[in-house]
């Protein structure tokens, strides 16, 4: 269940990169960020 919200500040350039990559993969920006986080090692 998704019950946490994350707010970050990024540059216009970073937002454009995020939007383009999400579009390229057919994902939302949130889905893309979650998929990248899923690659992190499991917490100890």
pLDDT digits (tens, 9 = 90+) for 5-41: 999 999 999 999 999 999 999 999 999 999 999 999 9
Q: Give, as one character, the DSSP assignment of residue 40.
A: S
Cα(6)–Cα(28) distance, integer angstroms: 15
This prediction has a pTM of 0.85
Contact 29, 18 (CB under 8 A): yes
CB 2 within 8 A of CB 10: no
Q: Given a cut of 90, is residue 1 above it in pLDDT?
A: no
């Amino acid at each position: 269940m998704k019950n946490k919200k994350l707010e970050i500040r990024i540059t216009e350039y970073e937002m454009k990169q995020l939007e383009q990559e999400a579009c390229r993969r057919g994902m939302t920006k949130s889905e893309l960020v979650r998929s990248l986080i899923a690659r992190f090692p499991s917490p100890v």
